[in-house]
Amino acid sequence: MRESPPGGQFAARTPDARDQRSRSPAPLLTVTAAAMIFTIVLILVRQQWAPLESADHGAAAGINNLIAGNAMLVTVIKAITWLGSGGVLWTVIGAAAVVLTIRRRWRLAIYLLVTGTGALVLDPVLKSLAGRLRPVVAHPIAHGNGNSFPSGHSLGSIVCYGAVLLVFLPAARGRWRRVFIAGVSTLIALIGISRILLGVHYLSDVLGAWALGITWLGVTAFAFELTRRAAGQPVTGPVTEGLEPEARADLKPAQPESAMRHMPARHYGRIAAGILVAWVLILGIIVGAGELVTRDGNGNVLGDRTIPHWFAAHRTPGWTHWSQVFSTLGATQAILIVALATCVVFLAVTRHWRPAVFVATLMFGELGAFLAAAAVVKRPRPDVTQLDQHLPTSAYPSGHETATCCLYVAIAILVIGHARGWWRWLSLIPAIAMPVLVALSRMYRGEHHPTDILGSLLFSLLWLTATTLLIKPNADGWPRRRSASISTDGRTQPALSRVGSCGQPRTGPYSFPAGTTSQSSALSWMPWQGQRKPPSSAIRSRPSSVTATLSSRSYRSSQIQDISLTSVSKASSGRPAICRRALSSSQGR
């Protein structure tokens, strides 16, 4: 049997298989058919062909009469069509591009950005060329801007979600790949149908947009294949394998959590139950404190009346502008953007779900507690002129302050726990400054009392403590004092840090990984003068000079730095063979 070369099944393809795949006419025929359909529909729309116009207007009127009186159905349809809006699509493309860039998949990131930009350019150009007005129905339930052909939501959704599908398809295997393809296809279809149901597009607008989207995806995928051929890489099937099948490890969103890999499912249930119990208890504390201040206080607890009046009496145009800036940074939209960016960045860097789950749990818990406490306490705003009008909630607690404090302190916790170096402590600056600035801006604008701010800080302290202790967001962070090795049974073992004399492993915290039984096997992974094993004379003369430690500060005189044992496997002869990664090495001392 011929041994497969490095790189797996994709690198093992023969030139004949690649030529056969490259000569397959199915992709070319599909793209060509889509281009022809779009061209024909565009010409018929531009010429206002009577049968097409009659069919489009009749379908628009009939559908509008069916759903105009169903408020719940209209709400659901609007929610679906929102998923095809420009803001959502560019958020998806931007987040995926950030993940690919952090993981150094530059070509795939560029492909996503170029493909999405193409849809953004084609939509207004073709709408101006066709010049078709939007449908006029008896009971309008939505309104669209600009011309009608082609549908911008339909075009953007098939291009953006289709590009994401082609890029991340290698990460799904087996039945999950079929589920992934079916899910994306269903979403694209529902968005296009929703535009017809809302009465803002004709049927031909959506069909033309889908045909154009398939054409553009085919053109960009073919251009991507040209770059692969130029780099000497094998031809792939984008629809069945994805654009870069060999990038599967970097396309998977996350790796299994090492700290909970062997935990039973009920362990996750206990964590979820603990979070829910903690949330209920903390909510009770916050509501009780609010009731105590509003009902049993004298009205001026901790300056609740004096401080808002002082701020109102000292307002200036400059301070008013800055208060607006920091209030906006603590508002829902800004908090949501920063939270999503934090989840994406930490997921891309750490390849673990734990940081993203921590941020999501923290922010959803904060939002739920804020809404519940505000609905129960119902504290009125300070009796001064408010600079923000028609706010939907009451004064206690401050939603801006709670969200800002939770989010930026959470970012500091993650950065300090996962990063290495002195600079990680700089994350404490926004964690302290942002809550202070947002609190001052909210009191300056007359929206909150000082005790509203204190209630928000109390909730943030308790909720951050509970979620951090239960979720342990830094459990898979960078080790600082010892590295971990993976033994043959898949379990984490203490890393090899020092070799004992007489060929015996040192006991205690510096022990050999499982499968390493002698000094020679322990040294087999060391970079010794370009050889797999050091000379026997070197072993006899300096057995204690070999170190494998994550930090070189403890061995400043050693020239061997930052060597981390990463995996252990069984050799074909039955003896253990230890694989290593040398971060930085040189000759022995």
Read off the pLDDT of residues 459-477 as tens digits, 9 standing for 90 and up. 999 999 999 999 998 887 6
From 57, 139, 143, 201, the catalytic residue? 201
In this prediction, residue 144 carries a pLDDT of 77
Residue 5's pLDDT is 45
* Spans of all domains in the chain: 15-252, 259-471, 484-584
CB 438 within 8 A of CB 453: no
Q: Which pLDDT tens digits describe the chain residue by residue (589 residues)?
A: 444 444 444 444 444 444 444 456 777 788 889 999 999 998 988 888 888 888 888 888 888 778 877 788 888 988 999 998 888 898 899 989 998 999 888 889 999 999 999 988 888 888 888 888 888 877 778 787 888 888 889 999 999 999 999 999 888 888 888 899 999 999 999 999 888 888 888 889 999 999 999 999 999 998 888 888 888 888 787 877 888 888 888 888 877 665 555 566 677 788 889 999 999 999 999 999 888 888 766 667 777 888 888 998 889 999 999 999 999 999 988 999 999 999 989 988 888 888 999 999 999 999 999 999 988 988 888 888 888 877 777 888 898 999 999 999 999 999 998 888 889 899 999 999 999 999 999 999 988 889 999 999 999 999 999 999 999 988 876 544 433 434 334 333 443 333 443 444 444 433 434 444 434 333 333 333 344 444 444 444 444 333 333 333 343 333 333 333 333 333 333 433 333 333 333 333 3
Please answer whether residues 199 and 193 qualify as being in contact, where contact means their C-beta atoms are separated by less than 8 angstroms: no
Q: H or E element: which one contains 567?
A: strand 561-570
In order of 96, 162, 178, 194, 249, the CA distances from 213 in angstroms are 19, 9, 21, 17, 29
For CA atoms 291, 295, 296, 299, give the dihedral sign: positive
Strand partners, 486: 492
Alpha-carbon span 326 to 339, nearest angstrom:
17
Q: Using alpha carbons, select from 253, 322, 297 the residue that is nearest to residue 96.
A: 253
Give the whole-number percent of the chain exceeding pLDDT 90: 31
Cβ atoms 212, 38 nearer than 8 A: yes
> Among this protein's residues, is 139 annotated catalytic?
no
Closest alpha carbon to 95 in 337, 257, 331: 337
DSSP track, 90-119: HHHHHHHHHHHHHTT-HHHHHHHHHHHHHH
Q: Are 128 and 147 in contact (CB under 8 A)?
A: yes
Instruction: Supply 335's token pair.
Output: 């908090």
Residues 509 and 370: their CA atoms lie apart, in Å, by: 47
Those residues with Cβ within 8 angstroms of residue 74's Cβ, 6 or more apart along the chain or in another chain: 67, 68, 141, 198
C-alpha distances in Å from residue 560, one per residue of 449, 481, 494, 525, 528: 60, 17, 19, 13, 10
| 0.85 surpassed by pTM | no
Q: 201 catalytic, yes or no?
A: yes
Q: Judge contact between 102 and 118, C-beta under 8 A.
A: no
Taking only the tens place, the pLDDT of each residue in 328-355 is 999 988 999 999 999 989 988 888 888 9
Catalytic site residue from 153, 352, 400, 418: 153
Question: How many CA atoms within 13 Å lie on the side-chain side of 235?
Answer: 15
From the CB of residue 341, how many other CB atoms can be counted at a distance below 10 Å? 15
> Within the chain, how many helices (H) and strands (E) appear?
20, 4
